[in-house]
Amino acid sequence: MKKVVKPWQALLMLAVGIAIILVGLMVMKLNNRIVLSVDGVVMCVMAVCFGVKYEDLQQGIKETIASMIVAMLILLAVGVLISTWMISGTVPVMIYYGMKVLTPGLFLPIVCILCTLMSTMAGTSWGTLATVGVACMGVAQGLGVPAAATAGAVCVGAFFGDKISPLSDSPVITATVCEVPLMEGIKHALLSTGPAYLISLAFFLVYGLRFGSGTVGGEAYDEILSTVSGQFALNPLLLLPVLVVIVLIMMKKPTLPTFVAGIAVGALIALLFQKATLTQILSVMYSGYAGDSGSAMVDSMLNRGGFTSMLSTIGLLCAAGIFGAPLRTAGVVDVLLNFVKKIAKNSRLMNFGVLALHTLFFCITGAYYVSYPVIGGMTKDLYPEYGLDKKNLMRNMLDTGTGLAPLVPWSTTGSYTASTLGVTNGAFAPFAPMLWVSILLSVVMALTGVGTVKQDKQADPASV
């Protein structure tokens, strides 16, 4: 029988573990991967001192990391897919057409949709902010559109894609931590994010009509259009890889084969239309697209992806496993769950309590890459015990992590967003309803039970 720690020992381990995270991230400003790894070592040492066998701890770490293998493969596929869609011209043609349809009266909703397409297809909110977002901020200045309103439209689009795109590492990590099939988790996240996004679009449509007398243009706008059209042979057929992936997702095909199909079609498009050689395509798949267009803005927009681009995220998953596994093996998580169950008398209180806990922990650490594995890993087993599906946890964390991040000035994402767009977080927050409306909807769902999914049979891990 495996040895587990006593309640006071469990609480001590938990307190030390959280203290190391806070000091490492907020005081010493260290990389979250090394903080979690060192924290995991400390947890192992404390567990051994409390009588837990090292062999059991090692086996726990091994099993935890093994459970993430499919997610790691998905992340690698995402990196390859993004780079392939860059060299094929798939993402560039979407940017080009999106920029071309900008009109003064519909500027704000089109900016939102354009940033949505960019972040969804490239799987990056930060890349969207720094490229399409910056360009749109420049165009807005010429139109006389308030910077705060434009920044709000950019953020809604950028972080909608980051929350629900299967190409974004944020939902992949969250689905992995919560042990939820990726596409099922994303569909459930749309229950709160979808309506909030539509409300935002309606707001942009009504508010933006007052700027219909302006003229679209500007240096950044012209630079993107001329550079992209000069670098790639653009035509609507370049969108075929996107269509293939969307169709396969709608047919409920497994994620990995779906991405592989998207990669294959993208590679074929690159061969036929961009005259890329097989050697070039395979090199890009590994190291990412690295074009030299002569435009720093366009290069920063397109130079991304590749097998190697996801290794740091995979390292984060491993570090989270090293930290979380000892807590689970030593019985620390069980002590925490028993304490929560004494307080939460029903599933609604438990669901709301976890949502509030993650919000608080994220606001303290300012990094959802830390809050997801820590809070998710500790609370995921509560949901089945209360008869709820773990998809509810994934939605809660995405809303109060990826969605909340741009609004928290001291978080890494919030600081980056404000500095990149040149607008303070408080200034653009009222013009980005999706970011906070989705959180309000999740709170309502938690307290009322509406939109809360009951527990079902465990999905086949292969379907992830």
Other CB atoms within a 10 A radius of the CB of residue 106 amount to 17
Q: Which of 162-171, 298-307, 362-371, 426-435 has the highest mean pLDDT?
A: 426-435
User: pLDDT tier at 89 (50, 70, 90 boundaries)?
Assistant: very high
**What is the per-residue pLDDT for 201?**
97
pLDDT digits (tens, 9 = 90+) for 225-250: 899 999 999 999 999 998 998 888 88
**What is the per-residue pLDDT for 402?**
95
Identify whether the C-beta of residue 122 lies closer than 8 Å to the C-beta of residue 389: no
Question: C-alpha angle 232/127/174, rounded to 5°?
Answer: 125
Question: CA-CA distance, 63 to 60, in Å (whole number)?
Answer: 5
Other CB atoms within a 10 A radius of the CB of residue 54 amount to 11
Written as six digits, the tokens of 181 are 């099939």
Identify whether the C-beta of residue 115 lies closer than 8 Å to the C-beta of residue 154: yes
Residue range 404-430: average pLDDT? 91
Question: Among 271-280, 329-338, 447-456, which stretch is predicted with the lowest mean pLDDT?
Answer: 329-338
**Average confidence score pLDDT of the chain:** 89
pLDDT digits (tens, 9 = 90+) for 306-327: 999 989 888 888 988 898 889 8
Identify whether the C-beta of residue 10 lies closer than 8 Å to the C-beta of residue 32: no
- Helix ranges, 67-165 (H): 69-87, 90-100, 107-122, 125-128, 134-143, 147-164
Domain edges within the chain: 70-310
Closest CA to 188 of 456, 437, 434, 391: 391
Question: Among 87-91, 287-291, 296-300, 379-383, which stretch is predicted with the lowest mean pLDDT?
Answer: 296-300
3-state helix vs strand vs coil in the chain, percent to 5: 75, 0, 20
Identify whether the C-beta of residue 314 lies closer than 8 Å to the C-beta of residue 72: yes
182-208 and 147-164 are packed helices; what angle lies between their axes, rounded to 10 degrees? 160
In the block, tokens 């300012």 appear at 366
* pLDDT over 90 at 84, yes or no: yes
Q: Say which residues have a Cβ less than 8 Å from residue 345's Cβ, sequence separation at least 6.
A: none
Q: What is the dihedral of CA 43, 49, 54, 60, to 10 degrees?
A: -40
Other CB atoms within a 10 A radius of the CB of residue 100 amount to 10
Which residues on neighbouring strands pair with residue 455, listed in sequence order? none
Identify whether the C-beta of residue 98 lies closer than 8 Å to the C-beta of residue 122: no
